[in-house]
Structure 1
Amino acid sequence: MKVSLVVGILVLGAAVIDTLVGSLSLRRRPAAGATALAVLAFCTGLWVVGYGLELGAAGVAAKVFWARVQWVGVMGAMVAWLAFGLAYAGFDQYTRPRYLALIAALPVLTVALTWLNPGGVMMQDATLRAVGDLTVLVQDRGPWFLVALAYGYAAAASGMALVAYAVVASAGVYRIQALALAGALAVPTVANVAYVLGGTQTIDATPFTFTVSNALALAAIRRFDLLDARPVSRRLARDSIVEHIDDGVLVVDALNRIVDANGGAKRVLGGDDPTGDAVDTVIPDWPEIVEEGRGDVVFGTTHGGRTYDVSVGSVTDDHDRLVGRIVVFRDVTERRLQLQRLDVLNRVLRHNVRTEMNLTYGYADLIRERTTDSELADYAERIEDHALELVNVADGAQAVDRALDETRLGEVVPVHESVANAVARVRSRYPRATIRVHSVPRDVDAGAVLESIVHALVENAAEHTDAEDPIVDVEAWADDDTVTVRVLDTGPGIPEEEREVLERGRETPLEHGSGLGLWLVSWATQTLDGSVEITENDPRGTIVTVTVPRAPPEPSGPDGNAQNA
């Protein structure tokens, strides 16, 4: 078979596949990398067609002309490949015209030098050499050829490094795409290295290998969604999250200079960009906040001062050396105002209402004892009942406040003590109730707030019952990670509407619980990262099961006894 026929078939095949890849890529616009891949395909197509025309041309001048045409495709392909790598890896900002102009500066200069070739800077001494039934153009390389060659290999390696980075940064989800692209790059690169090292005395196989390269690219587009889904790098995702969250975020270096700020931080600071400023000129009490790890700061805005919870986290390198800090601003103005309102309402409920209801109860009791009017005595007794009910509500609010006191939330006590104390308190208030305690584990610790949970459940069972002598059972057990307490009663059960309200975690004016006991159980359990389950007892009553994390044992000293903190 004639060499010219083989070359013709290879040129035609490569040109067809190049055209398919370029057309498919153009249809995917404006997908990231689509335009770059289309330009890459058309440039390699120009390269292979130009080389085919060079081999078929007669005479040195014609062959030199088509050799120069190829250089447009060669250098254009390098720029397009690098631009595709940047887009594929998520560095789209570097594919803007001003950056592409910088990337293309040396290739444009190379093309110009190829056509002008002053002083033989690119090629010298063009001659012909027969290869089969074809003649091959042989030229000595000028000094700029080596510069262009180095740029081409550097661009190829950089583009592949960007593809590899994108795959690694996206946890390897796009490995098949990366393998296809690696193969598409490796085949012509190996062929070109072999041709360059061989001295350019024979036919250059590089353009024909684009048949394989573009076939792989075509498969990546059609089968592996190359242009439809690109890797979402963790860097790109994190940058997007940080920029779009409502919270303000500052990045501070080891010298306490602000090196970056997201849009939220700029809004908090009045719209100015604080980059380059010393952080202590922006955030009041900066040393104290760094030491504590967080603190409240009031920033003035056009709408008045607002309160922000400022938290500080350290950024360290692989050797745990401090390289900077991340500062996050969270607007807690409404939360702080709500807490203030709740504190005031809680104080009024616990103190003022309780005091007034005690007085109301006392006066009603005097009226009932001193009046001879039986109807008036009945009214006085009803007033007493309602006043006592409100006093109980105030006591319940006080119990909730005491149970959820932040100073107690970190305490750890033995489970058997929590259960025993809770049961003893209920027995003293409801002496007619029979409270049976079963199988409570010893030498097992949990949060101190567990006592309030057990007390609320047992008291609820003893109080809300239709039996003259109610019976309540309490049992507990533990495994390696959790402690479970179960309270069983034989009363009328918890109304369904109260269960639903409790499970939704809110009340409405038309649908609400009758007291605070179950709310205390729910809130206190949440503070311990536990769970509550309410089921029906058989044949009658309620079973409430509370599961909370088991506290780790205290460290032992040299004598084997627990060390006191």
Structure 2
Amino acid sequence: MTWDGGFYVQLHLLAAVVVAALGAYTARNRETPGTLSLALLLFATSGWAVGYALRLSSPVGLKLLLSQVTFAFIVAVPLCWFVFCLQYTGYRQLVPRNVLLTLVVVSVGFALAGLTNSVHSLVWQSFEIHPSRTFAFHVEEYGPLYGVYLAYSYTLMLGGAALILRMLVGQGNDHLHRGQAFGLLVAVAIPFLANVVYFLGLTEPGFDPTAMAVLASGGALWLSVFRYRLLTLTPATRDVTRDEFIDRMTDPVVAVNGRRQVVDANPAALTLFGRSRQATVGRSLERIASELNALVDRHIPDVTGQQVYTQYVDGVHRTYDVGVEPLSLHRDVATGQLVTFHDVTTRRQREEHLRVLHRLLRHNLRNDLNIIVGHARDLHDGDDSVPTTTRTEVIERTASQLVSQADKLGRVVHGIDVEHHETVDVAESVAEAVDEVRETTDADISVTIDQHAQVAAGPLLRLAVTELVENAVVHNDAADPTVDVHVGPVGDDPTAVAIRVTDNGPGISKYEVDALHLGEEAPLEHTTGVGLWVATWTARRYGGELSFDVDDGTTVTVVLPRLANE
């Protein structure tokens, strides 16, 4: 083999070795998106440089054959570049799979056309030797198919560069990703411009500097790989990680555009709305959750403060602190809003429990203790305005009430602390609760079971029924107090069961009902005891509702969801 103009040949071979070495290193990082297509791109580029070097130094008879083989490597370069850019930027979804398959078929077609050119001469029609100052170049006369290929390859090269530019402009990127992107753009721009210069006829006849420009491209790629960690920290990996993180979040996240249409929602948000992705994305937030939409409307940017949103999720009443932040693609231009939810149900329930129990200890128990202390002091001082037996009876009765209250508080705290639910037979739980109250009163308590149902509940359920029945007896001022406990259906709804406790007493006050609904009491007014609070907490804990009907007495209704597998 005659090595005419050895400097140019050796320069191309050096470029081939540098690029091939980088390709081999890249192939070792196959777990990073885009590295396989980048490795193929580098190997194809290396083959192109080797082929061109051999073509420069080979005998005339081999030049056309080497041109045909080298063309197969050349054809692979723009396709690999475009696929790499799709994978690297994370924009793979922009191009359907069938379109990519078509591009592969077209590239293979061009390569086969080059290898069979001697049959049809559609790629090269002829070539001639052109003497140079250093060695002989061969000048090719291209066929019509080569022009089609040139347009195809330029489109893929520019398309890939456009994807990287879009990534740079459209997203917030750190210095590593910016360095990677600029290195890639420089790496592709150098051989691309060299190729344009060649086809514009600005070089010596027959001398194509494209393959030689690959050496400079290799330098830019080495910088991207080793300084800016191209093979380990790609935008696609970042975006996939971010998407996966958001999808796995237990807190709901919703993104809306400027028209308040949902553009994305994570699985937790879909569960919150009780909708599928198809029924959520693209729909107006007003139609999906009007109260949430109103809450977002009331949001004032840069003002600290919690906004609360409540919703039944999987049959459980849940409370969320809601945050609203502007969304912007670039240049701080707002394009929508990001709505985040933080589930504070447990925290708020605990706060409510503490407030009520604290009030009971501070107010009710303090009053009872004051009674005991007062009578004990009078006995000590010898005050005989009230018979001693009466005072001791009051002390004993009040102390017994304190013991009963302490026992009740212990049961309440235990019921609150039990987080797990188990299958509970409603009729059986109600019967046990009524029997417990009957042991302490002579009031007429009747039980009617019109429906046997099972619910997912815990110890709070029986305690709540006990408290409701006991309240109906204790706060009943009728001459003949009566209480009716009824277990039955909720209208025509087969998914729920209702426990109704009806008495013939004076009726519950509007204040007490309002306090239960608001979850708090005024400083100078208090509900009559912990019983109604236990009933309220029970309904919320087990995914139900509590309601009151005051008409010739009071009817308290606890509605609970039945187990689906009954």
State the TM-score, normalized to the length of structure 2. 0.56
Report the equivalent of 1:196. 199
Q: Does 1:267 align with 2:271?
A: yes
Question: Given that residues 3 and 132 in structure 1 are in contact (C-alpha distance below 8 angstroms), is that contact kept between their aligned partners in structure 2?
Answer: no
Match of 2:513 in 1: none
* Inter-partner Cα distance in structure 1 for 2:94 and 2:330: 28
Q: Alignment partner of 1:202: what SS?
A: coil
8 Å CA contact 1:51, 1:70 repeated in 2 = yes
CA distance 1:179–1:323, shift in 2 (3 Å): closer
Partner SS state of residue 298, structure 1: strand
Counterparts of 1:304 and 1:104, CA distance in 2: 53
Q: Please state how far the C-alpha of 1:207 moved relative to its aligned partner.
A: 1.1
Deviations 1:445-498 (A, max 9, x none): xxxxxxxxxxxxxxxxxxxxxxxxxxxxxxxxxxxxxxxxxxxxxxxxxxxxxx
Indicate which of 216, 219, 223 corresponds to 1:212. Answer: 216
Aligned partners of 2:308 and 2:319 also within 8 Å: no
* Residue 84 (structure 1) aligns with: 84
In structure 1, what is the Cα distance between the partners aligned to 2:151 and 2:329?
A: 34
Residues 148-178 of structure 1: CA deviation (Å, up to 9, x unaligned): 3344344434444555666773222355545
TM-superposition CA deviations, 1:362-395 (whole Å, max 9, x none): 22321232289xxxxxxx9xx9xxx9xx9xxxxx
Is 1:289 matched with 2:304? Answer: no
1:299 is aligned with what amino acid? Y
Q: Is 1:276–2:289 an aligned residue pair?
A: no
Who is 2:360 aligned against? Answer: 348
| Partner residue, 2:376 | 364
Post-superposition shift, 1:39?
0.6
Corresponding residue for residue 139 of structure 1: 140
Asked whether the equivalents of residues 72 and 111 of structure 2 are also in contact (C-alpha less than 8 Å), the reply is yes
Query: Is the partner of 1:285 in helix, strand or coil?
Result: helix
Shift, 1:214, TM fit: 2.4
CA 251–215 in structure 1, closer or farther in 2 if over 3 Å, else same: closer
1:184 corresponds to 2:187: yes
Structure 1 pair 203–365 and aligned structure 2 pair: CA distance change class (3 A): same
- Judged with a 3 Å threshold, the aligned counterparts in structure 2 of structure 1 residues 229 and 324 are, in CA distance, closer, same or farther, namely closer
Matched, 1:69 2:91: no
Q: Is the 8 A contact 2:9 2:57 kept in 1?
A: no
Match runs of 1:429-448 below 5 Å = none
Instruction: Specify whether residues 214 and 256 from structure 1 end up closer, same or farther in structure 2 by C-alpha distance, changes over 3 A only.
Output: closer
User: SS state of the match for residue 277, structure 1?
Assistant: coil
Matches within 5 A, 1:252-331: 252-270=256-274, 272-273=276-277, 274-293=280-299, 294-301=307-314, 303-310=315-322, 312-313=324-325, 315=327, 323-331=335-343
Q: Are the aligned partners of 1:299 and 1:308 in contact in 2 as well (CA < 8 Å)? A: no
Task: Show the counterpart of 2:12.
Answer: 11
**Could you state the TM-score of these two structures normalised by the residue count of structure 1?**
0.56
Q: Relative to structure 1, is the Cα distance of residues 288 and 350 closer, same or farther in structure 2, using a 3 angstrom cutoff?
A: farther
Q: Do 2:258 and 2:336's aligned partners in 1 also have CA atoms closer than 8 Å? A: yes
The 5-angstrom pairing of residues 208-247 of structure 1 reads 208-218=212-222, 220-222=224-226, 225-230=229-234, 239-247=243-251
One-letter amino acid of the structure 2 residue matched with residue 285 of structure 1: E
CA shift in 2, pair 1:251/1:365, >3 Å: same
1:47-196 alignment runs, 5 A limit: 47-59=48-60, 62-91=62-91, 100-101=100-101, 103-104=103-104, 106-115=106-115, 122-131=123-132, 134-163=135-164, 169-174=172-177, 177-178=180-181, 180-196=183-199
Q: Distance in 2 between matches of 1:213 and 1:95?
A: 27
- Please say if 1:37 is aligned against 2:34: no
Tell me how far apart the structure 1 counterparts of residues 211 and 334 of structure 2 sit (CA, whole Å). 51
Separation in structure 1 between the aligned mates of residue 25 and residue 32 of structure 2, nearest angstrom: 12
Partners of 2:134 and 2:176 lie apart in 1 by: 49
Amino acid across the alignment from 2:283: D
Q: Percent identity?
A: 29
Q: Secondary structure at the residue paired with 2:101?
A: helix
Whole-Å Cα distance in 2 between the matches of residues 371 and 97 of structure 1?
98
Q: Does 1:251 align with 2:255?
A: yes
How far does the alpha carbon of each residue in 1:296-338 deviate from its partner, in whole angstroms, 9 at most, with x for none?
Answer: 232341x544444455555578899975443334333323322
**What are the Cα deviations for residues 105-144 of structure 1, in whole angstroms up to 9, with x where unaligned?**
5534433444566986544344343335754332334455
Whole-Å separation in 1 of the counterparts to 2:212 and 2:48? 9
* C-alpha distance in 2 between matches for 1:178 and 1:3: 38
Is the 8 Å Cα contact of residues 2 and 133 (structure 1) preserved in structure 2? no
Q: CA deviation at 1:42?
A: 0.9
2:216 maps to a residue whose letter is: V
The SS at the match of 2:131 is strand
> Do 1:250 and 1:327's aligned partners in 2 also have CA atoms closer than 8 Å?
yes
2:414 matched to which residue of 1?
Answer: none
Structure 2 Cα separation of the partners of residues 184 and 146 of structure 1:
24
Give the Cα–Cα distance (whole angstroms) in 2 for the partners of residues 276 and 225 of structure 1: 37
User: Gaps (5+ residues) in structure 1?
Assistant: 373-379, 391-565
Contact 1:11 1:49 in 2 (8 A): yes
Distance, in Å, in 2 between the alignment partners of 1:344 and 1:222 is: 63
Question: Matches of 1:258 and 1:227 in 2, distance apart?
Answer: 35
Aligned residue pairs, count: 375
Q: In the alignment, residue 68 of structure 1 is paired with which amino acid?
A: Q
User: Per the alignment, in what secondary structure is the counterpart of residue 77 of structure 1?
Assistant: helix
**Does the 8 Å contact 2:32/2:237 carry over to 1?**
no
Structure 1 CA distance for aligned equivalents of residues 21 and 14 of structure 2: 11
What is the CA–CA distance in structure 2 between the aligned matches of 1:308 and 1:102, rounded to whole Å?
49
Distance 1:336 1:310 in 2: 14
Give the Cα–Cα distance (whole angstroms) in 2 for the partners of residues 336 and 241 of structure 1: 26
